[in-house]
Amino acid sequence: MANHPGQAVRTTVRTTSPADRAPARPAGVGSGPNPVSRQSNARRKWLEIALFTSPALIVYVVFVLLPIGFAVYYSLYKWNGIEPLNHFIGISNYQRALGDPIFRRALGHNVFFVVSSIVIQLPIALGVALMLNRRIRGRAVFRTLVFIPYVVSEVIAGVLWLLILQPDSLVDRLMQAVGLGSSTQLWLADRDVVLWTLLAVLTWKYVGFAIILFLAGLQNVPDELHEAAAIDGAGWWQIQRNITIPLLGPTIRIWIFLSMIGALQLFDVVWVITGGGPNNASATMATYMINVGFYRSQFGYGSAVAVILFVVSFIAAIFYQRFVLRRDTEGALTGRVG
């Protein structure tokens, strides 16, 4: 707009600093992290962890840690389960258990079942799994049949075999029918035979689990390796020995771990069939614990036996994981398979 004649023209000069001349930066760019926001995110993360883990943690504390704590506490007393808990005897119950030849024999029976089950079930389960992994007619039916014994409850299986193994019952009749009548035994009443009888029953009961577990592991073995080995002229057994079984190693080691812990804590099948008899010839640590704890009303002593059983199983599990399963966890982290 033109200035009015005679009106002075005013000019304003504005000075700007270097900071004013710098271009404006978007909000949050170049600024440090907000401490309040970071603390809020961390608090929310820990709250989510606590929310999702608290149910399992509560169950673990109530049904695992508390019973172990009470067992340790009761084991320090001479207590029949009725009178006041006021007769403190320290570690006398543990000394009594470790000095009892019947308990040491029961521990030996557990070790017998651990070793024998692995030695017998492993080749049977591995051979059947390799066979059922091939494309044969009716393999789905065979897989179902081998898994049925494992699905049947231990009590039902125990009662079934208790009836079958009675004198002049089904087993004896079958042996007589095939000309082996002279080989019949008092399967559950002979001290020299009863452990082997129970081992046969346990093999029938639990080998199906090993077979299904191995079949699941075999699904992770790439077919391309088998095809490449076949093209190179390798036979079926060479392929299984050099490719399939080594790749099945982690599954086999997991099964051995589960079988070992199960054999150390073996109770139900033995209790139903023999009750630990005859004359403690088939007793395990668990059946010994029930006999002295409940049937003789020695709850303090039975608690000491329970603690020893827990310690034996815990030490076996720790050593096995430390020296056997560790190679699988390290292989998973480094990408190696062995």
| Span 251-261, average pLDDT | 93
**Predicted pLDDT of residue 1:** 44
* Separation CA 97–CA 31 (nearest Å): 69
Whole-number mean pLDDT of the chain?
85
> What tokens does 301 get?
């002593």
Contact 121, 203 (CB under 8 A): yes
| Span 218-247, average pLDDT | 85
Q: What percent of the chain has pLDDT over 90?
A: 51
**Predicted pLDDT of residue 329:** 67
pLDDT (tens digit, 9 = 90+) per residue, 61-113?
999 899 999 999 999 999 988 888 888 998 999 999 999 999 999 999 999 99
309-313 contacts, C-beta under 8 A, 24 or more apart: 309/264, 309/265, 309/285, 310/68, 310/71, 312/107, 312/264, 312/285, 313/261, 313/264, 313/265
Q: What percent of the chain has pLDDT over 70?
A: 86
Task: Read off the pLDDT band of 331 (50, 70, 90).
Answer: low
| Span 295-311, average pLDDT | 93
What residues contact 291, with CB distance under 8 A and at least 6 apart? 276, 283
> What tokens does 207 get?
């080998």
pLDDT at 235 over 60: yes
Tell the residue number behind the tokens 């034996």, with chain if given.
312
* Separation CA 176–CA 188 (nearest Å): 18
> Helices 194-218 and 154-164 sit at what angle, rounded to 10 degrees?
140
pLDDT at 4 over 50: no
| Span 209-223, average pLDDT | 89
3-state SS assignment for residue 263: helix
pLDDT at 19 over 50: no
* Separation CA 248–CA 245 (nearest Å): 5
**Predicted pLDDT of residue 143:** 85
Task: Read off the pLDDT band of 230 (50, 70, 90).
Answer: confident
**Predicted pLDDT of residue 72:** 93
Q: Which residue has the higher pLDDT, 257 or 10?
A: 257
In the chain, which ranges are E strands? none
Residue 186: Cβ-neighbour burial (10 angstroms; 0-12, 13-18, 19+): middle
**Predicted pLDDT of residue 33:** 56
Q: Which residue has the higher pLDDT, 12 or 208?
A: 208
3-state SS assignment for residue 182: helix
Q: How far is CA 170 from the centre of its chain?
A: 35
Task: Read off the pLDDT band of 257 (50, 70, 90).
Answer: very high
3-state SS assignment for residue 281: coil
Task: Read off the pLDDT band of 35 (50, 70, 90).
Answer: low
pLDDT (tens digit, 9 = 90+) per residue, 245-254?
888 989 999 9
pLDDT (tens digit, 9 = 90+) per residue, 153-205?
999 999 999 999 998 889 989 999 998 888 888 899 999 999 999 999 999 99
Task: Read off the pLDDT band of 300 (50, 70, 90).
Answer: very high
SS3 content of the chain, % helix, strand, coil (to 5): 70, 0, 30
User: What domains can be seen in the chain, in order of their start residue?
Assistant: 101-334 (1.10.3720.10)
Residue 88: beta bridge partners?
77
Q: Which residue has the higher pLDDT, 273 or 39?
A: 273
**Predicted pLDDT of residue 34:** 67
